Chain A
Amino acid sequence: MSAENSPAERVAIGISFGNSYSSIAFTTGDGKAEVIANEDGDRQIPSILSYVEGEELHGGQAKSQLVRNAQNTVAYYRDFLGQEFKSIDPSPCHQSAHPVQHESTIAFKIRDTTEEKENAVTVSIITTRHLRRLRNSASDYLGKSVNAAVITVPTNFADAQKDALNKAAKEAGIEVLQFINEPVAAVLAYDAQPEAKLADKIVVVADLGGTRSDVAVVASRGGIYTILATIHDYEVSGFQLDQVLIDYFAKEFIKKHKSGGDPRENDRSLAKLKLECEAVKKALSIGSTANFSVESLANGIDFTSPINRTRFELLGNKIFAAFARLVAHAVEKANLDPLDISEIILAGGNSHTPKTAAAIKSVFPTTTTVLAPSTSPAAINPSELSVRGAAIQASLIQEFDVEDIEQSTHPMVTVTPHLSRAVGVLCISPDAATGKFHAIVDAETPLPVRRTAIIATPREGGDVLVKIAEAARHIKVTKPQPKSKPAKDDDDSEDDSDDESEEEEDEELREQTWQVGAVLSEAALRGLKKGAKVEVQINIAADLSVNAIYREVGGKGGVRGILQGGGAKAQNGSA
């Protein structure tokens, strides 16, 4: 197979390659992304390879080898690609083959052949083998040989890591059309739904994975995405939730079986515990009770124990709170307020846990939608978000030439200026202090941009002045009237909007307001009909020049004005 396929004979899929799980998806003829299950029926395919007597096991089959054949099983290697040995954290690999330094790269010493000897297999070879298995699964399903893909990567994936992944993919017969960022893929997966409406909004994507959690704040403006801030955390992750269950069941076991010893101190027992606890965690996301059951957990003793969701939520309280803190911190890093966030997209396996969604929801105002299975009926399976986004992107660009993709992705991306303040019209009063600001173009919108809004005019009609102004978002904090302790018995304060103040006396009332800045231009529309509406179209070019068109809805003519970017010189004319 040639390394670069001509666009005509490309069969492209989306691949999400994670440390814990990978998945593959394609786009159907009518533009819907569908996730492909492998031969084992798994849509979430563990990124694990294991070798038994020279035979290669992959995915779920390899994962079960973590118990009996841990030293020849390779797991959690995605983040090692393109890295130097001294910069990696090998701790997720404690229970499987350990990474070792091998020349300038990282390798695993495993018996991957029938021979009785250990080979050093580099992380890129492991990745190639893994991607080849994924590609074969997709090819089998589609009945066509897959030869191209869009692969999702974390936002902090360095170029060296992308290069290494690109090379490994090429070895596996996959031409990487583009690497896209995981959070953006998740946003795209939602926006590509036929019922989705394009809106200007700020979205937080919280990807809660097994070995790491990544949060990104994304400004979505007319379907174009800009990442405002990102946070990566390798401490607060799904493994910690597993650990909570591991500790709980290990203690229960010790209590019941004094002779059994601590199952955490024996490698094989610990591996069994770990696998079963992950399964219990998943079961608790769906049902309210689950059963932990392992044959011969330690010293040949079988162990069965039930757990309900409430107990799990109590045990994991600290970690759920940490997830919520992480999301709140990312919003802070973007210099935003929770009130600015319209949507939170929960991605990654741990977003299935209802308590995770509830904890995150609790730090945001009720106006913020949390998209997770337990909080929204419109939610997409969090595990499938990034792969769906990748599949959609793959279908969009598979017809392009490689140079086209490269040219479109690099130079112009970086040079896009974004509005620092919102631009809109000033309603009701001409005075900035008393006027009501109606935003037409939000801050952080990439330029050039064109937006149209319809605004109401004074009821009586007649001649109207339309002012276009800049404004900055401001959070107005109103402290409730200081009230003395017995004020609680007071009827009228009880009906106040801040009912929660029962616990916290000084609950602040926060709201979003606009701080109107400089007025940009004024325009007069004469002789409007009674109750007429005015359509205002604003075009802002990359050089910051503003072209505005004002027109009475249903009426003829109108006013057009251009504001130059460099100086305040105007060119006027009738539209």
Chain B
Amino acid sequence: PVLPEGWSGEKDFKPVGQLSQATDRNIEPVGPHFLAHARRQRHKRTFSEDDRI
């Protein structure tokens, strides 16, 4: 949408709300993408850190 007149935010960003509660579920320990996820979790890496390696 077009920016309304007089809209302002600190550095052009304005937080409004937050996510609703997530549900805890089991993911299946199967497949290459899970293994990548497990690797990130165990080394406490983020996506971008993982990409760099």
Contacts and interface: CB of A to CB of B under 8 A. Distances in A.
A226 B25 contact: yes
Contacts of B22: 417-420, 447, 544
A568 B18 contact: yes
Contact of A416 (B10, B19, B21, B26): B26
Given A181-B28, A225-B27, A544-B19, A574 B11 contact: yes
Nearest to B14: A522
Nearest to B35: A396
Contact of B9 (A227, A393, A415, A523): A523
Contacts of B53: none
Contact of B37 (A224, A396, A419, A467): A224
Given A188-B31, A522-B14, A559-B13, A464 B3 contact: yes
Interface in A518-575: 518-526, 539-540, 544, 546, 559-561, 563-565, 567-570, 572-574
Interface string A381-408: 0000000010011001100000000011
A559 B7 CA distance: 15
A103 B24 CA distance: 40
A420 B21 contact: yes
A412 to B, nearest CB: 5
B4 A184 contact: no
Pick the most buried of B9, B22, B32, B37: most chain A CB atoms within 10 A of its CB: B22
B31 A524 contact: no
Interface in B30-47: 30-35, 37-39, 41-42, 46-47
B31 A223 contact: yes
Contacts of B7: 465, 522, 524
Contacts of B32: 223, 396
A171 interface: no
B18 A523 contact: no
Interface string A308-345: 00000000000000000000000000000000000000
A24 to B, nearest CB: 18
A421 interface: yes
A225 B34 contact: yes
Interface string A165-192: 0000000000000101100110010011
Interface of A: 178, 180-181, 184-185, 188, 191-192, 198, 218, 222-228, 389, 392-393, 396-397, 407-409, 412-421, 423, 426-430, 435, 444, 446-448, 450, 458, 462-465, 467, 470, 517-526, 539-540, 544, 546, 559-561, 563-565, 567-570, 572-574
Interface of B: 1-4, 7, 9-35, 37-39, 41-42, 46-47
